[in-house]
Amino acid sequence: MKNKDKSLQKPSNRSEIDAFLENVASTAAIKPAGKQGRLIFAMDATASREPTWDYAAHIQAQMFNQTSKLGGLEIQLCYFRGFGEFQAFPWMNNSQQLLKAMTSVFCEAGHTQIDKVLQHAIKETQGEKVDALVFVGDCMEEDVDRLGQLAGELGLHGIPIFIFHEGGEAVAARAFKQIARLSKGAYCLFDSHSPQQLLELLSAVAVYAAGGHKALTDYSQNAGKLARQLNHQIEKL
């Protein structure tokens, strides 16, 4: 059940952010020279996410600003909403395309369909390797065991799931943490009133997907504190 009491939402504390960054670091690998990164970006577009959809669209488009000088990054936007609707856009490689796609979508009441997101990622990587899956959502209304099975399959394919949880609803938090762990990815609760926090975390994952260790090291030199912490964790591996 969705938690409608926004007063219960709490931002991530420092220890939660640190844990998230350490988990991201543990998935990092050096990418082959010249290989373009591929990142699936999946969004919950049900009605509860409508208040933050617009700023999220602009944040996601800005991720490309951090990867434009790397080997390249392709992003595929996916979303679910309404009565069984799941859509995946063609792969995109610039911020204008992503922003246009995001602003063409409106939120609509319905149940979550995370199962379809995970199945789609498995299918996509069978055609060409996907480097990571990012999911942004606020609730979970599905069979957690089924989602765990699919997350484990993604882990075997080498596709970590990075989950950004808006709101902190307890049932979703437990499920999201399990999904991230089984895929060898990471979970982070973010403050919907602090878009800069989400932008920095998303940009760090995008830079990793596009260029691996070296790219993230270079990026972190002039980025915010969270990205520098991420790079520090990778250097210790």
pLDDT digits (tens, 9 = 90+) for 41-78: 898 988 888 777 766 666 666 665 555 555 567 889 89
The pLDDT of residue 104: 83
pLDDT in tens, 116-173: 999 999 999 999 999 889 898 999 999 999 999 999 999 999 888 888 888 889 999 9
Q: For position 96, which CATH number holds?
A: 3.40.50.410
CA dist list (Å): 96 to 52, 76, 114, 131? 20, 13, 26, 22
User: What is the domain extent for residue 192?
Assistant: 35-211
Domain presence at residue 5: no
pLDDT at 6: 38
Helices within the chain (DSSP H only)? 14-27, 50-62, 95-103, 114-127, 144-156, 170-182, 195-220, 225-235
In a domain, 83, yes or no: yes
Residue 17 has pLDDT above 60, yes or no: no
pLDDT computed for residue 106 by the predictor: 85
Q: Retrieve residue 62's tokens.
A: 């800005």
Q: Which burial class, exposed, middle or buried, applies to 156 when counting CB atoms under 10 A from its CB (0-12, 13-18, 19+)?
A: exposed
pTM over 0.85: no
Rounded distance between C-alpha atoms, residue 175 and residue 181, angstroms: 10
Question: In this structure, is residue 49 part of a structural domain?
Answer: yes
Q: Is residue 90 part of a domain?
A: yes
Domain assignment of residue 12, yes or no: no
Q: Is 105 domain-assigned?
A: yes
63: in domain: yes
Q: Which two tokens stand for residue 24?
A: 């991201």
Please say if the pLDDT value at position 87 is more than 80.
yes
Q: How many domains does the chain have?
A: 1
Q: Please choose, from the candidates 123, 109, 182, the residue with its C-alpha nearest in 3D space to the C-alpha of residue 152.
A: 182
Mean pLDDT of 98-121: 90
230 is a domain residue: no
CB 170 within 8 A of CB 138: no
Q: Comparing C-alpha atoms, which of 147, 139, 56 is closest to residue 102?
A: 56
Task: Compute the distance between CA of residue 153 and CA of residue 149 in angstroms, rounded to an integer.
Answer: 6
